[in-house]
Structure 1
């Protein structure tokens, strides 16, 4: 993978992003204990982890596989080769992702650097058991959400991990703020839409700016809104006695032809760089996909809307805080591994029940700069100029 470079200016640090897995993932380089690996940039989770050298690989059913089957881009992070690594005894790391992938194993502390931003004594997972559908490039993940979403537990047996023995810790950017490494308590992300569709590496696909703004052109269309909190016991969005997990925004409406006949407001929608597609309420997805010319078709077995690769995508905008943020039609038709088969960028995320989490993924994020202020618990969305 091409080396990714960051630059430093007035305690603002910017990492360059690259695409992998046919540009379905955004990566940047992370250096831990002097060892550097490409890692997925994820605002939808909080843990920073690198697979540990000598790990055991499994499929999603938990059956042992060859190490190669997990598709990591390296043999893993060597804790013994790091001069700054310290074990965190009697605890374990245990995480599962929405697609069924899971990882577990030891925990430690080390010096971590991303885009020139360096922190010390950063807690991180070093999983030695992994079920991972890797891209052949990344060796881990950089989680950027809130501390209460982290995945370390006060047990040496990951199978016994529970809310009762959960030990929240400070993610990478929270640590940077507490160590006074950044001027401002926010980070910003600009994801470029794919350019080459290279299966392994598509360089210069955006920026992750710590304490500042990415170097991309933006319009004056911007809004700052509160990040929605959750009730700890029910997991339902609330405004009282909240805990913060995701970067959840209150969506006033999803706007497209005939959308006024639907109830499209939703306050349980997260901005997630780790998810390619938009996953929205069933009626929103159904009615929007009916507007493609020719219409999208829903495959029950795969749970996906498929579209003709030369279809015309209808206009779609997201109303956040009273401002409309349109999605470029180019982002609404995605090619698959089969270049002749395409899917819609907006998919069915389920019925709009209070505890269902909907996602504005990369399809939306290609069109905006998202700025996450984790001290003020505010999110600023700024429309990018057309590119």
Structure 2
């Protein structure tokens, strides 16, 4: 197992700001005075990243169908530097986990798990590609089983995770909570990277994955049992003062030959991470979704699911020729690329020199690794957030002949219709700090200085 390096840095917490809850009621972004955010109480260094999973896209498209104070944890990267990782300790055992603002469960593969291929046939454990033998619930003196329920996620491409659920002491970057609900799947069909052993989900409880049944085939919305994700638990238990966490993701080298790339940013609990910022910032409301249609909605009964915001426009050479506004865009650290409306992606990728080409099999735009990327920025509530050109050309490995391949950082995400979910992923997040407020349901975006 290759574990992510965890370092701890100290920062002094400042006084929290007062916040006003703002509900989203229109398709146009409204400007809110940026929140005043102090330095973080806990900072987790990010140590790795891996490729955006096709299963994330499947899960999003399925929406319509329904320790010590003042610490910071560092993040790392794995698998072509396309997946952000950090260390997580559960029941005294430490593992490397994906940091994901686009999902909500904290889960670790259970020791002795059964591995399957995508056709549900048994395979050796190594086929699933986890980074360890798994979490040993029997070796934890604080683990408590949650009887007669199950953790269950299935995906459109055949991947799945299912198994028991329990409660245990969980620590990330010095932030420790007790009796956190966690999934401990012992059945898995998984295309792992050989580094991570689970996931730290930071989105809303609406999309947690515990069900009031022990039979995975009977898991449904009717027996869904939502629970508080890790950070919400921390805030409710009072171990973090402020109701928000921040993500600062550093870009790695274009070509990475090691299994992990250390020190690629921070996950900061309760405030801002220790990165250089400029004065451009905006605070925008998170959108709710209709439980009936799956579309963004402010109607009664609508629910918070993802960190979904309005994009006022995408700006790039020739962008005035296409409609670039969109009000159904998720800010997701678990997604490598930006996924924008098809027409926007087509117009933007045509501006590469030489221009990008769309591969019909993968649906991705490929670019020359030495191409010149056109300027690109995202407008949120009247403020511009440029994306560095270095983030628009990504290492995609090699072809069958050993030729190095690269893809564009901005890819087609579907037709610009109400039911389509678009994503601002790591390509965007490399250039900003995202601060997610789980109490006021707002996202503050702050531009980073060039690095």
Q: Give TM class, smaller chain.
A: over 0.9
Cα 1:38–1:157 shift into 2, 3 Å:
same
Cα-to-partner distance string for 1:232-267 (whole Å, 9 max, x where unaligned): 121110122220010001001111112112111111
C-alpha separation in 1, matches of 2:4 and 2:296: 41
Answer yes or no: is 1:25 the counterpart of 2:83: yes
SS at match of 1:231: coil
Candidates 50, 58, 76, aligned match of 2:134: 76
Task: Tell me which residue corresponds to 1:383.
Answer: 447
Cα 1:202–1:117 shift into 2, 3 Å:
same
Task: Tell me which residue corresponds to 1:147.
Answer: 205
Candidates 299, 324, 333, aligned match of 1:273: 333
Task: Tell me which residue corresponds to 1:364.
Answer: 428
- Cα distance, 1:99 vs. partner? 6.5
C-alpha separation in 2, matches of 1:357 and 1:95: 20
SS at match of 1:238: coil
SS at match of 1:381: strand
SS at match of 1:109: strand
C-alpha separation in 1, matches of 2:411 and 2:158: 18
SS at match of 1:243: coil
Given that 1:7 and 1:115 are in contact with CA atoms closer than 8 Å, whether structure 2 keeps it comes out as no
Task: Tell me which residue corresponds to 1:218.
Answer: 277
Task: Tell me which residue corresponds to 1:245.
Answer: 305
Answer yes or no: is 1:38 the counterpart of 2:96: yes
Answer yes or no: is 1:330 the counterpart of 2:390: yes
Answer yes or no: is 1:6 the counterpart of 2:8: yes
C-alpha separation in 1, matches of 2:219 and 2:8: 37
Count of paired positions: 387
SS at match of 1:155: coil
Bigger strand fraction: 1
Query: What are the equivalent positions in structure 2 for 1:63-142 lying under 5 Å apart?
Result: 63-96=121-154, 101-142=159-200
Given that 2:118 and 2:157 are in contact with CA atoms closer than 8 Å, whether structure 1 keeps it comes out as no
**Stretches of structure 2 lacking an aligned partner (at least 5 in a row):** 14-39, 45-73
SS at match of 2:139: coil
Task: Tell me which residue corresponds to 1:164.
Answer: 222
Cα 1:192–1:103 shift into 2, 3 Å:
same
C-alpha separation in 1, matches of 2:426 and 2:156: 16
Given that 1:117 and 1:181 are in contact with CA atoms closer than 8 Å, whether structure 2 keeps it comes out as yes
C-alpha separation in 2, matches of 1:330 and 1:165: 46
SS at match of 1:177: helix
Cα 1:8–1:100 shift into 2, 3 Å:
farther
Given that 2:102 and 2:203 are in contact with CA atoms closer than 8 Å, whether structure 1 keeps it comes out as yes
SS at match of 2:361: coil
Answer yes or no: is 1:290 the counterpart of 2:350: yes
Cα-to-partner distance string for 1:296-342 (whole Å, 9 max, x where unaligned): 10011111110011111111111111111110011000111226211
Cα 1:221–1:132 shift into 2, 3 Å:
same
Query: What are the equivalent positions in structure 2 for 1:335-346 lying under 5 Å apart?
Result: 335-338=395-398, 340-346=404-410
- Cα distance, 1:6 vs. partner? 3.0
Given that 2:107 and 2:182 are in contact with CA atoms closer than 8 Å, whether structure 1 keeps it comes out as yes
SS at match of 2:137: coil
- Cα distance, 1:135 vs. partner? 1.4
- Cα distance, 1:295 vs. partner? 0.9
Answer yes or no: is 1:201 the counterpart of 2:260: yes
With normalisation by structure 2, the TM-score equals 0.84
C-alpha separation in 2, matches of 1:35 and 1:28: 14
SS at match of 1:103: strand
Given that 1:23 and 1:198 are in contact with CA atoms closer than 8 Å, whether structure 2 keeps it comes out as no
**Stretches of structure 1 lacking an aligned partner (at least 5 in a row):** none
With normalisation by structure 1, the TM-score equals 0.97
C-alpha separation in 1, matches of 2:272 and 2:359: 40
C-alpha separation in 1, matches of 2:97 and 2:157: 18
